[in-house]
Structure 1
Amino acid sequence: MKPPHDMGGDPSVPIIPDKPHDPKFEKEWHRRVLGITIAVGAMGAWSIDASRYARESLPRSDYNKFTYYEKWLGGLTNLLFQKGFINKNEIQSGSGEFKAPLEWRQRILSAKNVGAALEAGAPTRRDGPQPIFSIGQTVCAKLPSDTLSIKRGHTRLPHYISGKAGTIIKSHGVHVLPNTNAHFLGEHPENLYAVEFKASVLWEQNPSSSDTVVVDCWESYLEPA
Structure 2
Amino acid sequence: MSRSWSPRSRPRYAAARPRSPWRKLLDYGLTVIILGLLILLAARLDRVETRKTQGIAIINDGDSITLGTERIRMRGIDAPEYTQTCHKNGADYACGTLARQSLVRLIAGRPVTCSGWQRDRYGRLLGDCKAGGTDLNRAQVEAGWAVAYGAFEGEEATARAARVGIWAGTFDLPQDWRDSHHGEVVERKHGTLASIGDAAREIFRFW
Q: Compare CA radii of gyration and give the structure with the larger one.
A: 2
- TM above 0.5, one fold? no
**Greater fraction of residues in helix:** 2
**Greater fraction of residues in strand:** 2
TM-score, length-normalised on structure 1? Answer: 0.25
TM-score, length-normalised on structure 2? Answer: 0.26
